[in-house]
């Protein structure tokens, strides 16, 4: 209960910050790229509430300056453009100096772009949902957990060149273009499995779709329930489901940032799926090319699925809390063959069968999968800041750069920053493109990715 209360204070603090950002001059970076010392906004109501709840514990992550747009641009940042889908229904390419290099919209005016990611080929994959639709706005607010209408591939001139819709499955969260040209998609089905739950479950799946739209490979989570090695207590929670409409397991109110309750019980909540690339440099057959890395937020679990046998051949449980964007660092990048994870630090007990309490900071962890040990970790303390100043309780991402830096999306606050291995923040930006479909301004971003300068066609 304390966790939920603190998260509500956190959400209010973030809203208060964004409400003032449009009134702050954005030109606070000098010619050397160093940040001028300007105090960040503090809400008196927030400070009072934080003091009441043991002061700094309830504080929320915040940017170096309380403003939108570019915050920091120092030498040492990886050159390139940052690509992301914003809550206003458009996708953007942002240059190192914080300028909009390109803005994309759906070729269908009835649809908004959601999570958008670049392909190496120079195209983009994007989730699309009805424009100005309350359900679409809710999907953005809750980390794009509600099913999208379709996933599309766009050219850089905004034309739709491929589209996939699925009448049998709900498409949600993640999609990735594979080495063979097919597309990997996270999805779910509503299933009744009395051996697992008394309620209908929202059971996650991963599918591989070819260019013709044919599903050529599929994996269903419930088929591998025993492979997850859940405790008796966790199995009992899943068996019970969420017995009270509009509330979490056991009647506990859902925390801020949790997805709305569906008819079916969202017991595992897969939020990412990524294939292991060719030449990852690992000889261990568990990590052969084509195997799939998945993240189950509600189970605090990252797992590897063998593509051929469909068995779970590797997993880490409890190392991360409510994590996102688990993927293998690609060949040619520092840390290649390791798994990079955004460890959010929060997981609602009501939706988490493992019953794990959260913490009030996020971190990035780089894991050697052969040893299952953390070989690099980032928290705000690595940048000589209080640990609670980097925290997103849901969504978010991390991407290793060619120069060894890591690009981080602190999604709940719409904050992107690039950090060196030693912890220096060399680039920072806050998304100014908020949703206009809601009463409260919302600049949250599910995930970002940086592409080389040559990727963007002039």
Q: For the residues 249-273, what does the mean pLDDT come to? A: 65
Query: Tell me, what's the pLDDT at 389?
Result: 97
Each residue of 383-436: pLDDT tens digit? 999 999 999 999 999 999 999 999 999 999 999 999 999 999 999 999 999 997
241: left (phi over 0), alpha (psi -120 to 50) or beta: left
Of residues 173, 156, 163, 155, the one with CA closest to residue 111:
163
Is residue 29 in some structural domain? yes
Query: Tell me, what's the pLDDT at 32?
Result: 31
User: Would you say residue 64 has pLDDT above 90?
Assistant: no
Specify burial of residue 119 (Cβ count, 10 A radius: 0-12, 13-18, 19+): middle
Query: Tell me, what's the pLDDT at 59?
Result: 37
Is residue 150 in some structural domain? no
Each residue of 108-150: pLDDT tens digit? 888 999 999 999 999 999 999 888 555 444 444 434 434 567 9
Each residue of 295-321: pLDDT tens digit? 999 999 999 999 999 999 999 999 999
User: Would you say residue 237 has pLDDT above 60?
Assistant: yes
Q: Say which range, 55-69, 110-124, 161-175, 358-372, has the weakest mean pLDDT.
A: 55-69
Q: For the residues 67-83, what does the mean pLDDT come to? A: 97
41, 42, 46, 51: CA torsion to nearest 10: 150
Query: Tell me, what's the pLDDT at 62?
Result: 62
Query: Tell me, what's the pLDDT at 352?
Result: 83
Q: For the residues 177-195, what does the mean pLDDT come to? A: 97
CB 346 within 8 A of CB 7: yes
CB 154 within 8 A of CB 148: no
Residue the block writes with tokens 């991407």: 399
Query: Tell me, what's the pLDDT at 35?
Result: 34
User: Would you say residue 34 has pLDDT above 60?
Assistant: no
Query: Tell me, what's the pLDDT at 83?
Result: 98
User: Would you say residue 13 has pLDDT above 70?
Assistant: no
Q: Say which range, 38-42, 149-153, 213-217, has the weakest mean pLDDT.
A: 38-42
CB 328 within 8 A of CB 274: yes
Using pLDDT thresholds of 50, 70 and 90, give the confidence band for residue 72: very high
Tell me the torsion sign for CA atoms 278, 152, 446, 104.
positive
Using pLDDT thresholds of 50, 70 and 90, give the confidence band for residue 61: low
Query: Total structural domains in the chain?
Result: 1
Full domain range(s) for residue 56: 1-66
Of residues 315, 309, 308, the one with CA closest to residue 268:
315
Is residue 27 in some structural domain? yes
More confident residue, 347 or 131: 131
pTM listed for this prediction: 0.84
Q: CA 250 to CA 421: how far, in whole Å?
A: 43
User: Would you say residue 166 has pLDDT above 80?
Assistant: yes
Is residue 53 in some structural domain? yes
Using pLDDT thresholds of 50, 70 and 90, give the confidence band for residue 351: confident
Element holding 91 (H helix, E strand): strand 91-94
More confident residue, 165 or 146: 165
Tokens at 115, concatenated: 């999570």
Is residue 42 in some structural domain? yes
User: Would you say residue 358 has pLDDT above 70?
Assistant: yes
Is residue 352 in some structural domain? no
Of residues 403, 274, 397, the one with CA closest to residue 332:
403
Query: Tell me, what's the pLDDT at 242?
Result: 75
Q: For the residues 198-216, what does the mean pLDDT come to? A: 97
Residue the block writes with tokens 């569906």: 262
Q: CA 297 to CA 231: how far, in whole Å?
A: 16
Tokens at 361, concatenated: 């900071």
Tell me the torsion sign for CA atoms 98, 100, 102, 103.
positive
Helix ranges, 132-183 (H): 134-141
Query: Tell me, what's the pLDDT at 349?
Result: 63
Per DSSP, the residues of 112-136 read EEEEEEE-TTS-EEEEEEETT-HHH
Per DSSP, the residues of 407-429 read EEEEGGGTEEEEE-TT--EEEEE
User: Would you say residue 327 has pLDDT above 70?
Assistant: yes
Query: Averaging pLDDT over each range in 19-23, 226-230, 261-265, 434-438, which range is the top one?
Result: 226-230
Average pLDDT of the chain is: 83
Q: CA 239 to CA 233: how far, in whole Å?
A: 10
Beta 292-296 vs 270-275: how paired, if at all? antiparallel
Q: For the residues 209-213, what does the mean pLDDT come to? A: 98
Is residue 315 in some structural domain? no
What share of the chain has pLDDT > 70, as a percent? Answer: 77
Q: CA 295 to CA 297: how far, in whole Å?
A: 6
Q: CA 393 to CA 362: how far, in whole Å?
A: 8
């Amino acid at each position: 209960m304390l966790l939920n209360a603190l998260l509500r204070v956190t959400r209010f603090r973030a809203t208060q910050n964004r409400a003032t950002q449009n009134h702050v001059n954005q030109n606070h970076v000098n010619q050397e790229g160093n940040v001028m010392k300007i105090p960040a906004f503090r809400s008196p109501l927030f400070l009072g509430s934080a003091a009441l709840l043991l002061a700094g514990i309830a504080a929320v992550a915040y940017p170096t300056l309380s403003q939108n747009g570019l915050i920091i641009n120092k030498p040492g940042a990886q050159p390139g453009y940052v690509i992301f889908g914003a809550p206003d229904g458009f996708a953007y390419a942002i240059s190192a100096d914080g300028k909009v290099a390109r803005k994309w919209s759906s070729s269908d005016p009835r649809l908004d772009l959601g999570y958008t990611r670049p392909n190496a080929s120079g195209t983009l994959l994007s989730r699309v949902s009805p424009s100005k639709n309350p359900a679409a706005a809710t999907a953005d607010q809750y980390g794009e957990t509600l099913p999208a209408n379709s996933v599309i591939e766009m050219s850089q001139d905004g034309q739709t060149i491929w589209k996939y819709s699925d009448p049998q499955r709900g498409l949600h969260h993640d999609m990735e273009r594979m080495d063979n040209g097919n597309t990997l998609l996270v999805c779910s089905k509503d299933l009744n499995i009395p051996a697992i739950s008394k309620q209908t479950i929202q059971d996650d799946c991963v599918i591989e779709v070819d260019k013709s739209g044919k599903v050529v490979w599929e994996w269903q989570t419930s088929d591998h329930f025993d492979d997850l090695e859940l405790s008796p207590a966790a199995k009992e929670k899943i068996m019970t489901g969420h017995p009270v409409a509009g509330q979490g397991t056991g009647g506990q109110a859902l925390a801020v940032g949790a997805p709305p309750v569906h008819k079916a019980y969202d017991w595992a909540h897969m939020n990412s799926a990524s294939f292991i690339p060719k030449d990852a440099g690992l000889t261990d057959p568990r990590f052969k090319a084509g195997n799939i890395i998945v993240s189950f937020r509600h189970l605090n679990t990252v797992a590897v699925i063998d593509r051929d046998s469909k068995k779970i051949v590797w997993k880490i449980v409890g190392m991360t809390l409510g994590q996102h964007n688990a993927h293998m660092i690609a060949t040619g990048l520092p840390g290649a063959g390791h798994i990079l994870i955004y460890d959010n630090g929060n997981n609602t007990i009501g939706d988490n069968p493992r019953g794990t309490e959260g913490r009030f900071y996020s971190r990035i962890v780089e894991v050697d999968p052969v040893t299952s040990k953390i070989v690099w970790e980032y928290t705000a303390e690595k940048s000589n800041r209080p640990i609670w100043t980097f925290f997103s309780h849901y969504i978010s991402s991390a991407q290793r750069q060619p120069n060894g830096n890591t690009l981080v999306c602190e999604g709940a606050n719409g904050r992107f920053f690039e950090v060196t291995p030693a912890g220096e923040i060399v680039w920072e930006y806050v998304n100014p493109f908020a949703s206009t479909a809601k009463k409260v301004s919302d600049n949250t971003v599910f995930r970002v990715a940086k592409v080389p300068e040559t990727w963007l066609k002039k």
